[in-house]
Amino acid sequence: MTSPSDHLAARAAPAIFVVLWSTGFVGTKYALSGAEPLTYLAIRMVLVVALLAIIAAIGRPRWPNLAGIGHSIVAGLLVHGVYLAGTAIAIAHSVPAGLSALIPGLQPILTSTLANRWLGERVTVQQWAGLALGLGGALMIMHNRTISGDAGWGWFASGCSLVAITVGTLYQKRFCGGIDWRAGNIVQYLAALAFFAAGAFLFETREVNWTAEFVLAVSWLAVVLSIGSIGLLYWLIRRSAATSVASLFYLVPAVTALMAFVLFDERLDAVAIAGMATCAAAVFLVNRAKV
């Protein structure tokens, strides 16, 4: 029987996840003031692996077998490696933080299509209607926004993020659900660390400006995002259908746009506000439907 505290946690978890995940785009913009994208991400992963190693040493989790390690590496390269690299590179190429959340925020449509065929989840007509509504809301939030800098690379990087986070979360649900989160995440983040370190040595200068802003941003992203929100995401994936979890990503562009408006004075008008309300209605519609 579910206790009241478990019921409350289950109801609060999606809202907490959306807020925490949205801070990742804002935090990345601050972190990039001190280092290039892959260099900053490699530093972030070093901190994350160190913290998880301490947690694992205390908790002594059961480690996955060779197949589980292989699946964790694949999931880590997708969910952490390509997704985070694409987001950071997009923002580094002058894509506004709010806009950088848009393309990955379209994940629900792609997830529903793949989950329908790969995981055997039946997506109802009501859910498809909610997903389409959310797509419209996300586009309303980001309407008429300008992109400066090398826009082509920014859009390409965001597109890679969309594919990676979609395939990665589905892969996580299908192959990694039985792996202890502490052991599995250490493997995933070690794979991401190797990916970022190799990229930094091949393509970047690896210079770091250790300002207070950079240190605080990386600390927040490592602890709250890479451990807190990722752990919450995987918990939601285990408990819910992929389509329902993915629908939460429709709220990320709205929350990110609001944060960027407050912190960076990025544009937020009546159409964008209406888009936020539309996204909220879409998530309600998707999660209300019976799967």
pLDDT over 80 (residue 165): yes
What does the pLDDT average to over 240-249? 66
pLDDT over 80 (residue 97): no
For residue 90, tell me if it sits in a domain.
Answer: yes
* Sequence letter at residue 187: V
For residue 62, tell me if it sits in a domain.
Answer: yes
For residue 4, tell me if it sits in a domain.
Answer: no
Output the six-digit token pair for 32: 């990039």
For residue 13, tell me if it sits in a domain.
Answer: no
Q: List, for residues 44-55, the tens digit of each pLDDT value.
A: 999 999 999 999
pLDDT number for residue 9: 62
For residue 6, tell me if it sits in a domain.
Answer: no
For residue 144, tell me if it sits in a domain.
Answer: yes
Question: For residues 144 and 266, what is the distance between their CA atoms, to the nearest angstrom?
Answer: 12
Q: Which segment, 18-22, 31-35, 95-99, 236-240, is predicted with the most confidence on average?
A: 31-35
Cβ pair 231, 51 in contact under 8 A: no
Residue 176: give the domain boundaries: 20-288
pLDDT number for residue 235: 80
pLDDT number for residue 291: 44
Cβ pair 123, 286 in contact under 8 A: no
For residue 200, tell me if it sits in a domain.
Answer: yes
* Sequence letter at residue 25: F
Q: List, for residues 65-77, the tens digit of each pLDDT value.
A: 999 999 999 999 9
For residue 10, tell me if it sits in a domain.
Answer: no
Tally the domains of the chain: 1
